[in-house]
Amino acid sequence: MPKHVSAILAASLFAAVTACAPDAVSTPAESAAEAPAAPAAEAAVEPPVPELLVAAGEPQALVVETTEYASAAASVVKVDFLENQGESPGVKLFGTAGGDPAANGLHTYLAFYISPGSDWAVFPVGNFIDYRILFEAPGRADLEITETTIDEATAEMGSQTRRVIVNWTDVMDEAPPESVTITPAQ
């Protein structure tokens, strides 16, 4: 082997062995501290590419569901389960899309679960642009409601925000509340 190749090989071997010495190894934190900061474009991490599934059987054709139930279910665009309702089996606020979306359009309801195999007891709350739950406790939900306004003099549309308290009597087993009220609030 020529001397210059042996010298290069020896120098490479020395560098490799020296780099592997315990005092030559840096921690990830040290490496990060020593490395210059990456530009923002380089620092952005690409989201993982989703892996496509591979079929493992024969496809099954679906048919359109034409029942009124399916059509009504497809209209639901917002659901909020009220979690702080004590022993109640299930209470939720939900909204369906309908009407003129420029003028409200979120038909909002309060629903109470009755029992397995039974329907929900559903009470209309109102037609709004949107609602937000501010507070809830057993038998009560405080809401902030945004709704469309129309200036009668100019016919210009706007919006306003108001607050309401929705109250209901205790929900008995397998029975809806006897009373549900909505009260303006500050």
Q: Is residue 154 part of a domain?
A: yes
Contact 144, 120 (CB under 8 A): no
Asked whether residue 1 is assigned to any structural domain, the reply reads: no
pLDDT at 36: 56
Q: Residue 60 has which token pair?
A: 């099954």
What is the number of domains present in the chain? 1
Domain limits for position 93: 75-185
Query: Do residues 84 and 138 make contact, with C-beta atoms less than 8 angstroms apart?
Result: yes
Q: Which of 142, 140, 105 is nearest to 126 (CA)?
A: 105
CA dihedral 155, 162, 92, 84 (to 10 degrees): 170
Does some domain include residue 37? no
The per-residue pLDDT for 115 is 81
Burial label, 171 (beta-carbon count in 10 A; 0-12, 13-18, 19+): buried
pLDDT of residue 14: 39
Predicted confidence (pLDDT) per residue in 8-19, tens digit: 434 333 333 334
What was the pLDDT predicted at 126?
A: 94
CA torsion sign, 57 to 63 to 69 to 71? positive
Residue 92 within any structural domain of the chain: yes
- The confidence score (pLDDT) of residue 37 equals 56
What is the C-alpha end-to-end distance of the chain, expressed in Å?
93
pLDDT in tens, 53-62: 999 999 999 9
pLDDT tens per residue across span 107-134: 999 999 988 877 889 999 999 999 999 9
Please give the Cα distance from 109 to 117 (Å, whole number).
21
H-helix or E-strand containing 74? helix 68-74
The answer for 90, left when phi > 0, alpha when psi is -120 to 50, beta otherwise, is left
Residue 42 has what pLDDT?
A: 62
- Is there a domain that residue 5 lies in? no
Beta strands in 57-151 (DSSP E): 76-81, 91-97, 106-112, 121-128, 130-137, 140-150
Pick from 125, 127, 131: which is nearest to 167 by CA?
125
Is 161 among the domain residues?
Answer: yes
> What integer pLDDT is reported at residue 60 of this predicted model?
93
Residues (pLDDT < 50) of the chain are: 1-32
In-domain check, residue 14: no
One-letter amino acid identity for 73?
Answer: A
Domain presence at residue 21: no
